[in-house]
Amino acid sequence: MSNSKLLKINADLLEFLYREFWMKLGASENHAKAFARGVSMGDRQGKLFQGMGVMEAALIPVEGGIGDLTTEPELVSEGPTWAVYNGNRSTGYYTITQMTEKAIEKAKEFGMAISFGYNHIDAGSFFSYTSLALEHDMVAMASNNSLPLSAPFGGMDFAMSVPPFDAACPAGEQLPLVVSTKLCEGYDADITEALLKDGKLKSKLLVDPKTGELTDDVRPHAKLIEGYGRVSDCSAPWIFSNPRLYSLNIWNEFMTAIINPHGIVSSDLPSQPSDYFKPDAPTPVGGSYIIVIDPSKFGPIENVKAKSDRYIQSIKGCKKRPGVKEIYTPDEWGLEKVYRQESPKVDVMEDHLNAFKGFLEKYGLNYDTLVEQWEKENK
């Protein structure tokens, strides 16, 4: 964690601010709602890099002329159990929301479906989309590839994506089973946090592009992007600390881009976030997918939920190692915040908030004025 303070702000207020900001930049109301829900989902999960800060990954290509908030994602082809969407350089927030809705529709009829997307920019937290399937008691898994910030296992060149991966399965009395992770060692956000702290990562996860030596010191290789609070360039690629993560990253590449009929593999994308200020650059996402499965087509959904509950209880009921207070399922702490949090306030990093206030001012909006407006409307 950097030295940035954590501030408590109402999550519904933040979602309102994101929506107003995105509409100011030219997005339709439906697009702005999808964007605001996606960014807010990261806030609500307590994921500091996938909440307010993550919007910068979408804002950079918009400001560079690559992203276009005025376009509509387009369904270009489909079959009974599949669909392909051209994002038309819109955001992943808008495109993958439509991909998910279409996959849910088809899964209700045929039991399962996959939607592919391409030609769109960042999509933020992928729980935003798998959670839509949970609302229908369905299973989902989703990801996209990204700019190549990683070197292959044993290599020292930018070649591989730093992708998210999310999967979700409904439960009964328990919280749903959710996997929300990254198939890489780190993001540009981790580089930024190291720069703002002491320059060091948690371990030697970068490879020096000249010597091939591993390092935890980002300072000789990284540079903050002026005016941004989360995104940095770095000339040293991330490594993979183990071959299992390397293998999963490759699996994700053929799901997001190789079998995607219009996908672009990550090694064909520019490798630095600032490259996407250039209007002739491709979108920083080469491809995306979401698979939705309706378990009720194969048997009673009550059985699925009961088995989920028993499985979760067996995990959480295991004998604990010395010093362990509780055994958690993956992402349980984030789900607690989304589904059971009593307080409407969430944590936001001061660095991210200051950058966001700057974006608002840049486009003719005022943070305090918008807060006053929201408070009046929500008395």
Give the integer Cα–Cα distance in Å for 259 and 288.
Answer: 10
Do residue 318 and residue 223 come from a single domain?
no
Do residue 245 and residue 315 come from a single domain?
no
Give yes or no for a contact between 38 and 128, defined as CB atoms under 8 angstroms apart: yes
Provide the residue count of the chain: 379
When pLDDT is averaged across residues 15-39 and rounded to a whole number, the result is 97
Do residue 280 and residue 332 come from a single domain?
no
Quote the Cα angle for 254-256-258, to 5°.
40
Domain assignment present for 169? yes
Count of other CB atoms within 10 angstroms of residue 109: 11
Do residue 330 and residue 229 come from a single domain?
no
Least confident of 13-22, 50-59, 242-251, 337-346: 337-346
Specify the DSSP element, H or E, that contains 234. strand 232-234
Rounded to the nearest 5°, which phi and psi values hold at 277? Answer: -80, -10
Half-sphere exposure of 203 (CA within 13 A, CB side): 6
Do residue 74 and residue 175 come from a single domain?
yes
Residues 6+ positions from 313 with CB-CB distance below 8 Å: 174
Q: Reduce the DSSP state of residue 175 to 3 states and report it.
A: coil
Domain assignment present for 181? yes
pLDDT tens for 299-326 read 999 999 999 999 999 999 999 999 999 9
Domain assignment present for 161? yes
Half-sphere exposure of 91 (CA within 13 A, CB side): 34
* pLDDT value of residue 204: 97
Crossing angle of helices 350-362/55-63, nearest 10°? 30
* pLDDT value of residue 227: 83
Q: Quick check: 177 pLDDT over 90?
A: yes
pTM for the full model?
0.94
Residue type, position 248, single letter: L
Domain assignment present for 258? yes
Tokens of residue 287, six digits? 């491809």
Do residue 102 and residue 57 come from a single domain?
yes
* pLDDT value of residue 279: 81
Q: Quick check: 148 pLDDT over 70?
A: yes
Give yes or no for a contact between 176 and 169, defined as CB atoms under 8 angstroms apart: yes
When pLDDT is averaged across residues 208-217 and rounded to a whole number, the result is 96
Quote the Cα angle for 340-142-162, to 5°.
100
Domain assignment present for 294? yes
Give how many domains the chain has, as a whole number: 2
Give yes or no for a contact between 97 and 276, defined as CB atoms under 8 angstroms apart: no
* pLDDT value of residue 1: 47
Count of other CB atoms within 10 angstroms of residue 89: 21
Strand partners, 166: 142, 180
Q: Reduce the DSSP state of residue 139 to 3 states and report it.
A: strand
Do residue 331 and residue 358 come from a single domain?
no
Domain assignment present for 247? yes
pLDDT band, very low/low/confident/very high, at 343 (cuts 50, 70, 90):
confident
Rounded to the nearest 5°, which phi and psi values hold at 359? Answer: -65, -45
* pLDDT value of residue 3: 61
Specify the DSSP element, H or E, that contains 355. helix 350-362
Do residue 323 and residue 187 come from a single domain?
no
Do residue 223 and residue 323 come from a single domain?
no
* DSSP count for the chain of H helices, then E strands: 11, 15
Residue type, position 334, single letter: G
Do residue 213 and residue 294 come from a single domain?
yes
In the chain, the percentage of residues whose pLDDT exceeds 90 is: 86
Tokens of residue 127, six digits? 């729980």
Residue type, position 22, single letter: W
Give the integer Cα–Cα distance in Å for 229 and 224.
Answer: 8
pLDDT band, very low/low/confident/very high, at 280 (cuts 50, 70, 90):
confident
Strand partners, 179: 167
When pLDDT is averaged across residues 71-93 and rounded to a whole number, the result is 98
Tell me the CATH number at 96.
3.30.1370.60
Do residue 53 and residue 182 come from a single domain?
yes
Strands 112-118 and 82-86: parallel
Q: Quick check: 21 pLDDT over 90?
A: yes
Instruction: Please state, rounded to an integer, the average pLDDT across all residues of the chain.
Output: 94
Specify the DSSP element, H or E, that contains 293. strand 288-293
**What is the domain range of residue 166?**
6-298+341-377
Do residue 30 and residue 68 come from a single domain?
yes
With CA atoms as reference, report the closest residue to 114 among 105, 103, 104, 123.
Answer: 103
Domain assignment present for 1? no
